[in-house]
């Protein structure tokens, strides 16, 4: 029987756990099933570059990967084959890509990536008949069709540790400490890290805020003898009032808005890519491994065109088209919002806005 041969790549921003997925796919497909796996470097670019950057993914090449951050295959968020940036402008190189995949003798691809990458994968399958299985990835946890993505919990861990550290220095100096975390459109990291790190206020992209609500919280704490305040700000959070002055960065904007209203000493920490760097914590290693195994299972069953996902405790799969939908924002009816409010965390909802009941 002909030996099965598949490709694998990682696309979009990296996330702790990418290597753990690659390792699981290779261990299962190569080690157990005897397939061949070819890795494309820097997402789809490995197929398009001249010379091509493709590498056989052998068992030895995947040793020691489970705990390693980043991705050994490299990644990029500038490699859309349907709108490829060249010196002469934007070109559609998707047909060239499909031809390269066929020439390589690949049955199809395991595409590990966020919503943008999954959209490209779905299109590649639809328009060029390239079989694809998707594995969702993002620290932002905002991919529709999966309860959680690997990398998210590792990012929450980093943000929580940062809050723990800010907590002690905030208390020593009676300061208002603002921690800006990633999340342009979805505030999952801010919400979970805020709850885990005992934040007093959380600003989410989904809930335009009124700075006065956060000021009230600061003053209310002061009245109780708590002279410091910890605020987590998602990078996409913004004041509801369009006339509120904007600074460079979401946390800086809020810090300035507070200082205009109350007598506070503020400090801003922007966590940035520290949240994406480093190795995955155990729960992300486990999820990444289960995703990788499921991807191989789907291919073994010829279930191309699906993306693995987590539903509750179970690994499942959904049509790729579902995964390529709009980002999954924090639903303001989510139990975590209720839990945050129940422990007194101020979310800053502007009065008279559509989310006022939740503020
Ligand atoms: O999508 C993940 C993410 O971490 C966002 O939260 C953040 O805004 C973005 O990536 C940053 O991406 P880049 O690596 O391009 O700076």
Catalytic residue selected from 14, 42, 140, 200: 140
Taking the centre of ligand 1 as the mean of its atom positions, its distance from the CA of residue 283, in whole angstroms, is 21
Best of 13, 42, 140 to mutate for ligand 1, by most ligand atoms within 8 A of CB? 13
pLDDT tens across 219-228, in order? 999 999 999 9
Share of the chain above pLDDT 70, in %: 98
Taking the centre of ligand 1 as the mean of its atom positions, its distance from the CA of residue 116, in whole angstroms, is 12
Res 316: pLDDT:
98
Beta pairing partners, 102: none
Taking the centre of ligand 1 as the mean of its atom positions, its distance from the CA of residue 115, in whole angstroms, is 12
Q: Give backbone dihedrals phi and psi of 352, rounded to 5 degrees, phi first.
A: 80, 0
CB of 44 within 8 A of CB of 85? no
Taking the centre of ligand 1 as the mean of its atom positions, its distance from the CA of residue 13, in whole angstroms, is 6
Res 291: pLDDT:
98
Give the position, in ligand 1's atom list, of the atom nearest the Cα of 182: 6
pLDDT tens across 161-173, in order? 999 999 999 999 9
pLDDT tens across 67-117, in order? 999 999 999 998 899 999 988 899 999 999 999 999 999 999 999 999 999
pLDDT at residue 358 greater than cutoff 50: no
CB of 315 within 8 A of CB of 289? no
* Nearest CA among 234, 245, 77 for reference residue 159: 234
pLDDT tens across 30-42, in order? 999 999 999 999 9
pLDDT at residue 310 greater than cutoff 70: yes
Taking the centre of ligand 1 as the mean of its atom positions, its distance from the CA of residue 105, in whole angstroms, is 34
Taking the centre of ligand 1 as the mean of its atom positions, its distance from the CA of residue 77, in whole angstroms, is 10
CA-nearest residue for atom 12, ligand 1, is: 13
Best of 140, 152, 277 to mutate for ligand 1, by most ligand atoms within 8 A of CB? 140
Q: Is 140 a catalytic residue?
A: yes
Res 352: pLDDT:
60
Residue 352 CB-density burial (10 A; 0-12 exposed, 13-18 middle, 19+ buried): exposed
Give the position, in ligand 1's atom list, of the atom nearest the Cα of 276: 4
Give the position, in ligand 1's atom list, of the atom nearest the Cα of 235: 8
Q: Report the distance separating Cα 275 and Cα 141, nearest Å.
A: 13
Q: Beta-carbon neighbour count of residue 79 at 10 Å?
A: 23
Instruction: State the alpha helices, DSSP H only, in the chain.
Output: 18-26, 45-48, 94-103, 115-128, 152-173, 188-196, 211-223, 250-261, 282-300, 320-323, 335-342
CA-nearest residue for atom 13, ligand 1, is: 13
Q: Which residues contact 100 (CB under 8 A, 6 or more apart)?
A: 47, 48, 52
pLDDT tens across 267-292, in order? 999 999 999 999 999 999 999 999 99
| Ligand 1 binding site (Cβ under 6 Å of any ligand atom) | 13, 77, 138-140, 182-184, 235, 276
DSSP annotation string for 165-220: HHHHHHHHHT-EEEEEES-SS--HHHHHHHHHTT-SEEE-TTS-B-HHHHHHHHHH
β pairing state of 266-270 and 54-56: unpaired
Q: Is residue 316 classed as helix, strand or coil in its secondary structure?
A: strand
CB of 230 within 8 A of CB of 173? no
- The confidence band for 265, taking pLDDT boundaries of 50, 70 and 90, is very high
pLDDT at residue 198 greater than cutoff 50: yes
Higher pLDDT among residues 144 and 33, named by residue:
33
Q: Which residues contact 17 (CB under 8 A, 6 or more apart)?
A: 137, 150, 151, 154, 280, 284, 285, 287, 288
Best of 142, 182, 278 to mutate for ligand 1, by most ligand atoms within 8 A of CB? 182
pLDDT tens across 111-136, in order? 999 999 999 999 999 999 999 999 99
């Amino acid at each position: 029987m002909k030996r099965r041969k598949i490709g694998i790549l990682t696309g979009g921003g990296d996330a702790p756990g990418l290597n753990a997925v690659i390792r699981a796919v290779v261990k299962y497909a190569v080690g157990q099933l005897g397939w061949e796996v070819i890795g494309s470097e820097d997402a789809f670019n490995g197929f398009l570059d001249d010379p091509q950057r493709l590498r056989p993914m052998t068992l030895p090449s995947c040793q020691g990967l489970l705990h390693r951050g980043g991705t050994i295959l490299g990644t990029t968020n500038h490699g859309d084959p349907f709108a490829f940036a060249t010196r002469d402008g934007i070109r559609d190189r998707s047909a060239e890509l499909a031809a390269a995949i066929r020439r390589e003798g690949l049955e199809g691809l395991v595409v590990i990536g966020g919503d943008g990458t999954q959209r490209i994968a779905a299109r590649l399958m639809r328009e060029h008949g390239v079989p694809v299985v998707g594995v969702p990835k993002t620290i932002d946890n905002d991919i529709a069709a999966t309860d959680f993505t690997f990398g998210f919990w590792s990012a929450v861990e980093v943000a929580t540790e940062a809050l723990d550290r800010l907590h002690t220095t905030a208390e020593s100096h009676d300061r208002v400490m603002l921690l800006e975390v990633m999340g342009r459109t979805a505030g999952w990291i801010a919400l979970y890290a805020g709850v885990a790190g005992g934040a007093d206020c959380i600003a989410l992209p989904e809930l335009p805020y009124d700075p006065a609500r956060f000021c009230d919280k600061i003053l209310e704490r002061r009245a109780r003898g708590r002279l410091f305040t910890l605020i987590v700000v998602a990078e996409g959070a913004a004041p509801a009032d369009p006339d509120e002055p904007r600074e460079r960065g979401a946390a800086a904007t809020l810090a300035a808005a507070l200082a205009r209203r109350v007598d506070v000493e503020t400090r801003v920490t922007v966590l940035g890519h520290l949240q994406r760097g480093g190795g995955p914590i155990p729960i992300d290693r486990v999820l990444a491994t289960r995703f990788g195994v499921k991807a191989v299972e789907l291919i073994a069953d010829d279930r191309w065109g699906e993306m693995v996902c987590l539903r509750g405790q179970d690994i499942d799969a959904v049509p790729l088209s579902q995964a390529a939908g709009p980002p999954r924002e924090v639903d303001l009816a989510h139990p975590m919002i209720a839990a945050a409010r129940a422990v007194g965390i101020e979310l800053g909802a502007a009065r008279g806005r559509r989310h006022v009941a939740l503020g």
